[in-house]
Amino acid sequence: MEKHGYRFSFGPWNIHEGADPFGPTVRPTVAFAAKLATLKNLGFDAMQFHDDDAVPNLDSVSPEGMLHQANAVRQMLEDNGLFAEFVAPRLWEHPMTIDGAFTSNDPAARTYAIERSKKAADIGRELGCNLMVLWLAREGTYIREAKDAVLATHRLLEAVNTLLDYDPELRIVIEPKPNEPMDLAYIPTIGHALSLGMQSSDPVRVGALVESAHAILAGLDPADEMSFALAFDRLWSVHLNDQNGLKFDQDKAFGAVDLRRAFNQVRVLDENSFWEKGVVGLDVKAMRTQPAELATKHLRNSLHTFLRLLEVVRSLDRAKMDELIMARDYEELDWLVVDALLGTR
Ligand code: GLO
Ligand code: MG
């Protein structure tokens, strides 16, 4: 589709070795440069980054070494006509973050989390992007009595404020998820993410990222979660994917489970000119059964599904829909949508 106006991204972790909690890797590691080439060849515009995707071994690199490495990555991006969408501090792998990062009961762990996030902000600056994603992976508990939830909420707010203060150009997007790796997380929905942002020291610099699967895991509709953030002009990124009900976070290709649910996400994004506001990001995993040379089709499929659904959205007969809404003939409206999704015979 020509002239759709959208820009697309995925993260290096979306081309992966295929390990799961019950089995080892099944594909070789792909070098960052090769992932970048795939990104470009598939028609994407931007790369998403964890801090250590840009600067491996971040915890043991000197500050100058960190900036030097980040700069080399920026050069690679520029050479390929690409850009960095965001940098996210990876606060869930280091032993210090075993019981959470900003909400850990251990003050040394909380300090580590703040210092690590400041490094992520510095890397972002060096990559030429001021967007930081906070996926609050371990900010929750395995048992509810382990932490004070009121205190944890204050600690999250304090962390957001510290980062806003550290870099006056930084914009933060909170990516909520209700569970996994924790039993229960403190910021499970967009409502939680946005209330935290509104309480911060600079609310215009805190927005949200909706991941389709995370909304579904919270028992919510991703398009409605997006709409809530759009209503306050706070939807600055999305992680499109799909999820087959309430189980582990599957990160299936966008639209692979429920095409109509995917259609409605594209519809609300397009009705609210999301192409002017942010990049359409994917967060999808290849099936473990795919051999290495075929393990990027989940990215291709997701992008194509978005573009095909965009065609459907833009071809809808809006006058007819308004008429049906006014007449409250929702069965006919239902058919109009289903018929459009089924395509021509
Ligand atoms: C996991 C999250 C994860 C984040 C990424 C960026 O469930 O979706 O993939 O999006 O680490 O912070
Ligand atoms: Mg995500």
Which sequence spans correspond to the domains of the chain? Answer: 8-342
Ligand of minimum distance to the alpha carbon of 135:
1
H or E element that contains 326: helix 318-326
| Strand ranges for 150-203 from DSSP E | 171-175, 184-185
- Taking the centre of ligand 2 as the mean of its atom positions, its distance from the CA of residue 112, in whole angstroms, is 23
Q: What is the pLDDT of residue 239?
A: 99
d(C-alpha 309, C-alpha 306), whole Å? 5
Is 177 close to ligand 1, i.e. is its CB under 6 Å away? yes
Give the CATH class of 8-342: alpha beta
pLDDT digits 0-9 by tens, 114-142: 999 999 999 999 999 999 999 999 999 99
- Taking the centre of ligand 1 as the mean of its atom positions, its distance from the CA of residue 293, in whole angstroms, is 24
Q: What is the pLDDT of residue 215?
A: 98
Whole-model pTM? 0.97
Ligand of minimum distance to the alpha carbon of 285:
1
User: Which ligand 1 atom sits nearest the alpha carbon of residue 13?
Assistant: 9
pLDDT digits 0-9 by tens, 174-203: 999 999 999 999 999 999 999 999 999 999
Is 135 close to ligand 1, i.e. is its CB under 6 Å away? yes
- Per DSSP, 205 falls in state G
Q: What is the pLDDT of residue 4?
A: 87
